């Protein structure tokens, strides 16, 4: 049934890269009147937006407002949403190849990197992914528990923006979070929290910190928090001074300037402290049953072949006492049934967006990838726009060359109905969205977010 007057695409996932893919496809249609373009977007959850709903911190409303752009994309007559439909459970890749000219995987990176240090399984050791998913009401993480009530000091491994989110949520006054869309259970737990100190553990120096200047500066602006650095750890080594001068970005330069200022500011008087440690790398998590401390090795920096400063052990270590430990050392992709996976990189193997059967292997015609599962978990939300556009360019070229799938049927909806899959449409979501906002208003917050799939489905069915 393949026809050049049709361009039917399945997009798997409904986060930023999925929406930017849909947008680029609709734009590519241009004013071609005789071309019917359809984008069917699938998500395993009944609700869209991926990490914008389940990852972006509740107090970052401005970042979350990007969903207004996605709403406009979804308003295109060629767009359909199939929420509550999981690839590998409700539909298989083979079903998609029967119904679409092209398939784009945009399912992100759902897991996290492991430290690989002894003691990682102790109680009180958590990944930031779990904590972020928990306070944001992600169905996978809503049941998790964090003993914030009995914890005074938290060790936080990693120096990226996720670590900044975790530190900010732990240290700011819960009153600031109350009017946001934070889940009720998380707000209650944060109100009972005894955490007054977060010790940030970076394995490299201030010049190599991965957080954005805006994110660390935002923490310093909180009345309840001081950012504290030991002056000797704020000081750059010779390699970093040279590296920063020659190849450091403006963000890195701004970070160094800001952190130097913090070191001069000293202990401060605010009740809560974010203690930034640098050149320390966890080697063991200590405790009996639950975490008591983390053993860190002292590091120095050494240039690798490309001149980038890398951490190397100095051979000395210390113990940093903590009641909880969070790892914020990066996300990692998970394999999806029927989709090739590069175990080493944790992404779908691809050549500029075209899926490869194996890393470095042959192109699988008709299958594409966008966003974090294409390039790994890097960049800000907007980075995914250019990334998706590049993938759609490859799709356009292949389509023009006749290198598409050969679907036998044109609508997958009857297949889902036959399997009794209760797919959530965009209209269903819009009703739930309005309901969550109305329920939020009653509670003096922007949104009362549902976090359980069965609850979401119950409300959606009631609203239909
Ligand atoms: P990230 O930016 O890659 O930072 C990961 C951090 O973990 C780095 O400091 C890294 O140090 C460290 N690390 C990795 N492995 C380690 C190990 N074994 N031991 C100790 N430290 C280790 O990742 P992320 O924070 O998860 O963020 C993911 C992406 O989302 C980033 O692009 C981020 O900017 C974005 N994001 C943005 C926002 C925002 O704009 N508000 C919020 C959240 C996330 P090295 O540099 O030494 O490897």
Residue 4 above 80 pLDDT? no
**Strand partners of residue 10:** 40, 103
- Spatial distance between the Cα atoms of 96 and 10, rounded to a whole number of angstroms: 7
Among protein residues, the one with the nearest Cα to ligand 1's atom 40 is: 380
> Cβ neighbours of residue 132 under 8 Å, at least 6 residues apart?
54, 55, 57, 138, 141, 162, 165, 166
Flag whether the pTM goes above 0.95.
yes
CB 108 within 8 A of CB 13: yes
Q: Is residue 378 lining ligand 1, measured as CB closer than 6 Å?
A: yes
Segment 62-83 shows an average pLDDT of 98
**Strand partners of residue 154:** 198, 324
CB 349 within 8 A of CB 316: no
- Spatial distance between the Cα atoms of 433 and 351, rounded to a whole number of angstroms: 37
Q: How many whole angstroms from 208 Cα to the centroid of ligand 1?
A: 11
Sign of CA dihedral 137, 139, 140, 144: positive
Q: How many whole angstroms from 441 Cα to the centroid of ligand 1?
A: 34
CB 157 within 8 A of CB 199: no
Among protein residues, the one with the nearest Cα to ligand 1's atom 36 is: 161
Residue 144 above 70 pLDDT? yes
Q: Is residue 99 lining ligand 1, measured as CB closer than 6 Å?
A: no
- Spatial distance between the Cα atoms of 448 and 196, rounded to a whole number of angstroms: 28
Q: Is residue 297 lining ligand 1, measured as CB closer than 6 Å?
A: no
Residue 2 above 50 pLDDT? no
When mean pLDDT is compared across 27-31, 89-93, 99-103, 161-165, the lowest value belongs to 27-31
Of residues 240 and 29, more confidently modeled: 240
Residue 425 above 50 pLDDT? yes
Alpha helices of 337-407 — where are they, by DSSP H? 372-375, 383-400
Q: Is residue 162 lining ligand 1, measured as CB closer than 6 Å?
A: yes
Which band of pLDDT confidence, cut at 50, 70 and 90, is reported for residue 189?
very high
Question: What is the average pLDDT value for the chain, to the nearest integer?
Answer: 96
Among protein residues, the one with the nearest Cα to ligand 1's atom 33 is: 161
Q: Ligand 1 atom closest to Cα of 310?
A: 47
Residue ranges of domains in the chain, CATH in brackets: 6-110+333-424 (3.40.50.720), 112-331 (3.50.50.60)
Segment 52-76 shows an average pLDDT of 98
Q: Is 68 helix (H, G, I), strand (E, B) or coil?
A: helix
User: For a pocket test of ligand 1, which of 162, 310, 373 has the largest count of ligand atoms closer than 8 A to its C-beta?
Assistant: 162
Q: How many whole angstroms from 289 Cα to the centroid of ligand 1?
A: 28
Give the CA count within 13 Å in the CB-facing half-sphere of 274.
31
Of residues 4 and 6, more confidently modeled: 6
Q: How many CB atoms lie within 10 A of CB 387?
A: 23
Residue 30 confidence (pLDDT): 83
Segment 394-399 shows an average pLDDT of 96
Strands of 309-321's sheet in order across: 280-286, 293-303, 309-321
DSSP state at residue 213: H
DSSP state at residue 236: P
**C-alpha dihedral, 141 to 199 to 164 to 217, nearest 10°:** 160
Residue 67 above 50 pLDDT? yes
- Spatial distance between the Cα atoms of 145 and 351, rounded to a whole number of angstroms: 40
């Amino acid at each position: 049934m393949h026809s050049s007057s049709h361009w039917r695409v399945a997009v798997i996932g409904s986060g930023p890269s999925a929406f930017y893919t849909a947008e680029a496809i609709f734009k590519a249609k241009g004013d071609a009147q005789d071309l019917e373009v359809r984008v069917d977007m699938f998500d395993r959850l009944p609700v869209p937006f991926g990490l914008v709903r389940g990852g972006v911190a509740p107090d970052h409303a401005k970042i979350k407002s990007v969903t207004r752009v996605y709403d406009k994309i979804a308003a295109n007559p060629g767009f359909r949403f199939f929420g509550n439909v999981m690839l590998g459970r409700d539909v298989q890749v083979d079903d998609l190849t029967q119904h679409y000219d092209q398939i784009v995987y945009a399912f992100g990176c759902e897991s996290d990197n492991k430290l690989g240090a002894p003691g990682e399984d102790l109680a009180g050791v958590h990944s930031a992914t779990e904590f972020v998913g928990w306070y944001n009401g992600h169905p996978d993480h809503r049941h998790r528990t964090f003993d914030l009530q009995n914890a005074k000091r938290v060790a936080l491994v990693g120096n990226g923006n996720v670590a900044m989110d975790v530190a900010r949520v732990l240290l700011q006054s819960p009153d600031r979070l109350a009017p946001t869309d934070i889940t009720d259970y998380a707000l209650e737990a944060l109100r009972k929290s005894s955490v007054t100190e977060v010790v940030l553990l970076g394995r490299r120096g201030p010049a190599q910190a991965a957080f954005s200047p805006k994110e660390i500066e935002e923490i310093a602006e909180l009345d309840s928090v001081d950012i504290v650095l030991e002056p000797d750890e704020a000081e750059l080594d010779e390699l970093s001074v040279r590296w920063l001068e020659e190849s450091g970005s403006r963000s890195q330069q701004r970070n160094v300037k800001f952190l130097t200022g913090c070191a001069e500011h000293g202990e401060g008087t605010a009740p809560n402290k974010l203690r930034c440690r640098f050149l320390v790398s966890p080697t063991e998590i200590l405790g009996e049953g639950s975490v008591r401390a983390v053993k860190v090795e002292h590091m120095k920096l050494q240039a690798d072949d490309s001149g980038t400063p890398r951490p190397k052990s100095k051979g000395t270590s210390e113990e940093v006492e903590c009641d909880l430990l969070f790892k914020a050392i990066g996300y990692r992709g998970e394999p999806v049934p029927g989709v090739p996976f590069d175990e080493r990189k944790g992404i779908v193997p691809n050549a500029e967006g075209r899926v490869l059967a194996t890393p470095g292997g042959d192109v699988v015609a008709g299958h594409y990838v966008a966003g974090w599962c294409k390039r790994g978990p890097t960049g800000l939300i907007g980075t995914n726009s250019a990334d998706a556009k590049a993938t759609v360019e490859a799709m356009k070229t292949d389509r023009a060359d006749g290198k598409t799938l050969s679907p036998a049927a044109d609508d997958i909806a009857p297949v889902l109905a036959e399997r009794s899959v209760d797919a959530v449409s965009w209209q269903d979501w819009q009703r739930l969205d309005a309901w969550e906002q109305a329920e939020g208003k009653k509670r003096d917050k922007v949104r009362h977010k549902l976090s359980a799939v069965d609850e979401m489905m119950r409300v959606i069915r009631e609203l239909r």
